[in-house]
Amino acid sequence: MSFVEYGDTIKDGDTAIVFLGHESMFPVKVQHGTVTQTKYGVIRHSTDLIGKKYGSKVTCSKGGWVFILHPTPELWTMNLPHRTQILYSTDISIITMMLELKPGSIVCESGTGSGSLSHALIRTVAPTGHLYTVEFHQQRAEKAREEFREHGVEHLVTVTNQDVCKNGFGVTDIADAVFLDIPSPWEAIGHAKSALKAEGGRICSFSPCIEQVQRTCLAMEECGFTEINTLEILLRVYNVRTISLQIPDLGKAAEDNSSTGFDSSNPSNPGSLGANLEQGAVQFKSGVPLREMVGHTGYLTFATKS
């Protein structure tokens, strides 16, 4: 199993996603002799998972069923163990596009955190690219190495435990892109410039506060970066539901239309308006935004090395 090389069959040692519904799923490490408890009953790895195809419908001990999905960076973002605040797919998608990443790209990242963005970057630059990710916290760095190894992508990523603001990324003049998600990104802009290739490399800094953005933009200008711009991505979800609205009283004009001799049973005829008026309301499908919307996550500042 690999997050970038998809297989058909569930094997011992794989990480799989147990899908109970769109709002309920979780990751599980497949092991011989192990069982997993769900609200629908027990899943026995040896008999229910190993050897089955990904996407299979598995019946649990209580008669309920779940789907077993192959892990992807998107599914991992929704289910990973949180060691830090993470980036979600809304921001990740614009980051990979604006940094102009593709298979073969070399990317530097700090900090690694819970590895949400890291998995997406690795999938984007595979099979010939590489991710150099720096994490200040030793335990988080060690856990990230372990996860990358378990997920079959360790050959595409190098994890370094150090302070990027003091020691940089450990590489020079090779990166196509740099991503910063640290408390004081302005202190790492010089190191980012050194890591980027001679010309045309892209940089992105993620910061939750506008004051951080201001200091980072000033540092970028001082280091000669161009095309500096800041974005904020807000996700607005629409629900499709049935809406009921009262039909307005159109007065005498409506009465005249209803007496013109048209077949009121035919909706295409103007005379059908009289029948609708008698009902008093009409129902139709409409897209309605949620009453509560996910708010601000952070600002994304992009720039180009000139």
Residues annotated in a binding site for S-adenosyl-L-methionine: 114-117, 135, 181
CB 246 within 8 Å of CB 280? yes
CB 41 within 8 Å of CB 60? yes
Give the three-state DSSP class for 37. strand
Can you state the percent helix, strand and coil of the chain, rounding each to 5?
Answer: 30, 30, 40
Cα 136 to chain centroid, rounded: 24
- Feature table: binding site: 114-117, 135, 181
DSSP assignment of 119-183: HHHHHHHTTT-EEEEEESSHHHHHHHHHHHHHTT-GGGEEEEES-HHHH--S--S-BSEEEE-SS
Tokens 């807000």, residue located: 234
What distances in angstroms separate CA 44 from CA 35, 70, 170, 262, one per listed residue?
5, 18, 45, 68
**What is the enclosing helix (H) or strand (E) of 16?**
strand 15-21
E-assigned strand segments in 166-254: 177-180, 202-207, 225-231, 238-246
Q: How many residues does the chain have?
A: 306
